[in-house]
Each structure stands twice: as C-alpha cells, then as structure tokens.
C-alpha cells in the first residue's frame, strides 16, 4: 500500500500570490495564498520532513492552493531547519514568531496547522509559553518526541533536532495542556510516524484538561491527508474551513 509520498511529490508546485520575510535568514519566509473573495479563515501551515533542511515548504503548495480555492487565506511558512541554521532553539523560535504574527489581523478564525514534523511544531506551539493561543490541526504529527526518539524515527531525527539531548520543553506530550482546541488527524497505515504517537498525546492532553479531537483514518498513509484529490485530504480541507467547489 502506498504511503502517498510519490503522489504528493508528483504534483506541480503552485506559486504563491505573495512572499514575505520575517527575519534575515533565507528560511524565514512565508508564502501567502489568497482566495478569490474575502477570506473567512486564515491557516498558518507548517510543513514536515523531520525538521531537516532537505525538505522545504514547496511540497505543501498544492494543499495551500486547494485551501485558497475553498475561501481560506493561507500562510505557508518556512522555518530554519536542521542542517540550515535550525534545531533547538532556532526552529522553535521561528514557529513561535510565525504563529504570533499570522494571528494578528486574521479574519475571525486562525488555525495553526502542520503535517508530520510540522504537526509536532503546531502542537508544541499550542502548549508553549509565550505563544498566543489559537486553534491547532495536526496531521500525522510527531506528537510524542520521547517515544519518537526511542523508536529512532527518521533515523535519529529527534536527536538531530534537539542536539542529542532530550528536552521535555520541546515535547508536546510533556507541555501544559493546549490553550485552544486541537484536532489530530492521523492515518492508521502511516509507516513513517506511527498513529500510536497521536493516541499517546491525546490521552495525556485530555488528562491534563485539553480540548482534543482525535481522528484516525483507517488504511491511510503518511502523505495522503495532505495530497489534494484524496478523500483523506477532503476531510482535512473541511476541518480547515475550505468550502467544497461546485462541479
């Protein structure tokens, strides 16, 4: 069964309507995708790739364009990654700044959404001190860094992110409960980030008083929920407020 990677990466890149910088580093940039009419929701979107420089935001541009087609304004954010000036604490500093900046002037609803490592960063922002509260949607997130480190997911990606030492302050499952509603969407057939990590986060966050919705998609792989044209992505688009287009 395909994990959806080849299908996602085969999609053509969609250029943004505008790109803006939020710092001096080349990775401190946000691509903005605007809907045809006034937006009803703003989504700040964080890509995955196990926090490594080898993966950038471009593979989520089709998802950003699909959201914009459904009436959502999208801020597709880049951030400093491992091997390119990122890691602890730089990657986290960038996400905190992007989340705060994007929330200002949002058209009513603001959602911080992320896939895979980006899902981890979105969940981290939901519970981290100093980050304004907002709604979070995490797709196939690395929701439990301690467990991911034990499993050596991504060939030791957690150690690379954190400089070789486990840091509970970077781990969503060890943070205070999120200050806004959180939805986790995870494929049950994910070979890269086990769905059990989302289950562990959900149990811990709910026990601490968090407002958590957890949806596991049977038979769905890692990349499928962020690949436009799939039923799993249609569910994600609906969660993020995209209106279905008439045919």
Q: What pLDDT score does 105 carry?
A: 81
Check: CB of residue 212 under 8 Å from CB of residue 218.
no
Instruction: Give pairs for 159-164: CB < 8 Å, separation 24+.
Output: 160/50, 160/51, 160/52, 160/82, 160/87, 161/50, 161/51, 161/82, 161/87, 161/88, 161/91, 162/87, 162/88, 163/87, 163/88
Check: CB of residue 162 under 8 Å from CB of residue 143.
no
Question: Hey, what's the torsion of the CAs at 110, 56, 130, 147, to 10 degrees?
Answer: 110
Beta strands of the chain (E only): which ranges?
18-21, 29-33, 41-46, 72-77, 109-115, 135-139, 182-187, 212-217
Domain ranges within the chain, ordered by starting residue = 5-239
Rg (CA), the chain: 16
Q: Is the pLDDT of residue 247 over 70?
A: no
pLDDT tens by residue, 123-142:
999 999 889 888 999 999 99
Q: Is the pLDDT of residue 104 over 90?
A: no
Rounded to two decimals, the pTM is: 0.96
Q: Is the pLDDT of residue 239 over 70?
A: yes
**Fold of the domain built from segment(s) 5-239:** Rossmann fold (3.40.50)
Please give the share of the chain, as a percent, with pLDDT higher than 70: 98
Distance CA 19, CA 9 (A): 22
């Amino acid at each position: 069964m395909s994990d959806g990677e080849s299908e996602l990466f085969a999609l053509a890149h969609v250029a943004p309507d505008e790109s803006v910088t939020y710092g001096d580093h080349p990775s401190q940039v946000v691509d903005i995708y605007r809907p045809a009419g006034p937006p009803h929701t703003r989504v700040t979107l964080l890509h995955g790739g196990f926090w490594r420089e080898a993966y950038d935001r471009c593979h989520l541009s089709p998802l950003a364009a699909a959201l914009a087609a459904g009436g959502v304004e999208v801020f597709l954010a880049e951030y400093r990654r491992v091997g390119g000036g990122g890691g602890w604490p730089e990657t986290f500093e960038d996400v905190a700044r992007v989340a705060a900046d994007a929330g200002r002037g949002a058209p009513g609803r603001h959602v911080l959404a992320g896939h895979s490592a980006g899902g981890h960063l979105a969940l981290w922002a939901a519970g981290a001190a100093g980050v304004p509260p907002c709604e979070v949607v995490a797709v196939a997130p690395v929701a439990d860094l301690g467990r991911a480190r034990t499993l050596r997911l991504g060939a030791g990606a957690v150690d690379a992110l954190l400089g070789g030492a486990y840091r509970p302050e970077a781990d969503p499952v060890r943070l205070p409960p999120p200050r806004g509603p959180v939805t986790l969407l995870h494929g049950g057939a994910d070979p890269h980030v086990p769905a059990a990590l989302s289950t562990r986060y959900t149990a811990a966050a709910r026990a601490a008083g968090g407002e958590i919705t957890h949806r596991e998609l049977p038979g769905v792989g890692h990349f499928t929920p962020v690949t436009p044209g799939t039923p799993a992505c249609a569910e994600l688009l609906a969660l993020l407020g995209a209106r279905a287009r008439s045919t």
